[in-house]
Amino acid sequence: MIPFNDLKAVHALVADEIHVATRRVIDSGWYILGPEVEAFEAEFAAWHQVAHAVGVASGTDAIELALRAGGVGPGDEVITVSHTAVPTVCAIERAGAQPVLVDIDPATYTISPQAAEAAITPRTKAIIPVHLYGQPADMTALADLAQRHNLLLIEDCAQAHGARHDGRLVGTIGHMGAFSFYPTKNLGAYGDGGAVITNDAQFAARLKLLRNYGQSKRYVNVERGVNSRLDEMQAAILRVKLAHLDEHNGLRRELAAVYNQHLEGMILPIQRAGTEHVYHLYVVRHPQRDHIMDTLAGQGIGTLIHYPIAVHQQEAYADLGYREGSLPVTEQIVREIVSLPLYPGLNKGHIEAVVQAVHNSLELITNDT
C-alpha cells in the first residue's frame, strides 16, 4: 500500500521537536497572538529575507487580506487562473472584487503572461499568479506587466514554499506573497494557518489591523477587519518545520528525480529555466488518465487529480459567464492530469514501485489498442 499522502510519515520526521514545541505553548498559558506568533513571523520573514511577515488563519485569508491591504475592493477586477484551487478565487470575491480568469502556459500549467495582459481593462487592479504544484510562474514577465500597468502583484505561494525564480524565493518578487500552511503543504501546520510576506511597512501594518477586527489596540477599532489570527500552537509547530523546510524540499526533489528518470509514456513535469521547483505535487499527463488511476488503485497506490474541474467549470461559478472552450489549455489539462505520490517519508523503493505500476498500466492500454 502506497497512499497518495501520509501525514503521519511526515510527522515522524520531526515528532520529538514538535512535542517539545507544543508542550511549551500549553505550559505558557498564552494561545492567541503571543510570543510564538511573533517569533514565527520574524523567522519566516528572515528566511525569505523580507522585512515583514504577518500570520493569519488560512491561505484563503492571506490572499483576501493582501488584496484588501493593497486597496482592492468592490468594482475592481483581479486577474488569476481557472486552473487553481477554488480558494484563490474565493478570496478575490471575499475582498469584494471580480475575478477574471485566464488561461495557462501549456508546459508549466502556470498563468500565461500573454493571456493576463490581454485581460487587462480599466477596472483591473491586481494580478494573482499561482505558483502551482511547486513550479514558479513566470515572474519576470508578470512583474514587468504589473509595473507597466500599475497593478498590484500578489503571489499565491500556497504550493510553493521555498521555490525560487531567478534565485529569488517566491513571495518576495511581487508586492506581497500569500502562503497557506494547510497540513499537506510543503510547510504545513497541524490545522489551518497562513501568512503574508512583504517589504512594504504600510501593507504589513494594515494586514495586522485587518486580521484582528481592525484594532489598533485592544477595543480600539480604526477600521472594519476580520478574525484571522494564526494561533500560538500552529506558530510553534511551524517554527519547528520551517527549520527543516530546505531539507524536506530536497527530499521532494530527490524523489521527483527518480520519477523523471524512470517514468516513460506520459508527459512529465518540467522545470522552467532559471527556477527551482519544490514539487508540492508531482503531476503527469496522459489522455487515458482515468484508466491509469484505476489500475494503480487496484494495486494499492493512491492518486489524486489537482484539479479535476477548473474553477470556471464549477457549478458554483457558472455566473462568471465562461463558456466551454473559453480557456482551451486549462480545459484540456484537467482532462489529462494525475498526481502521483510524493512526500517526505517515501523512499526510492516506493517511487520505483509506483513507476512499475504506471508502466504496467500503460502496457495494458497499448495491448487494448
Q: Is 246 helix (H, G, I), strand (E, B) or coil?
A: helix
Is position 143 within any domain? yes
Q: What are phi and psi of 210, to 5 degrees?
A: -60, -35
User: Across-strand partners of 79?
Assistant: 100, 127
Low-confidence ranges of the chain (pLDDT < 70): 369
Is position 2 within any domain? no
For residue 115, what is its C-alpha cell? 493571456
Nearest residue to 193 (alpha-carbon basis) of 324, 331, 61, 105: 61
For residues 204 and 284, membership in a common domain is answered with no
CA distance 199 to 12: 35
The pLDDT value given to residue 369: 66
For residues 172 and 114, membership in a common domain is answered with yes
Q: What are the C-alpha distances in Å from 351 to residues 4, 50, 245, 251, 259?
A: 11, 36, 21, 12, 7
Secondary structure (H, E, C), 145-204: HHHHHCCEEEEECCCCCCCEECCEECCCCCCEEEEECCCCCCCCCCCCCEEEEECCHHHH
CA distance 333 to 286: 9
Is position 1 within any domain? no
Q: State how many domains the chain has.
A: 2
DSSP 301: B
Could you tell me how many helices (H) and strands (E) the chain has, helices first? Answer: 13, 14
For residues 335 and 208, membership in a common domain is answered with no
Find out whether 3 and 341 touch, Cβ atoms under 8 Å: yes
Rounded to two decimals, what is the model's pTM?
0.97
Q: What are the C-alpha distances in Å from 268 to residues 91, 259, 292, 340, 361?
A: 31, 9, 15, 11, 16
| Residue 217 host element (H or E) | strand 215-217
For residues 222 and 326, membership in a common domain is answered with no
Q: Pick from 188, 214, 242: which residue ends a domain?
A: 242
CATH for 271: 3.90.1150.10
CA distance 259 to 352: 8
Q: What are the C-alpha distances in Å from 338 to residues 21, 104, 137, 284?
A: 36, 17, 20, 6
For residues 221 and 262, membership in a common domain is answered with no
Q: What are the C-alpha distances in Å from 132 to residues 269, 280, 306, 336, 363?
A: 11, 8, 10, 16, 30
Report residue 156 CA to chain centroid gap: 6
The pLDDT value given to residue 368: 76
Q: In terms of residue numbers, what domain contains 262?
A: 245-368
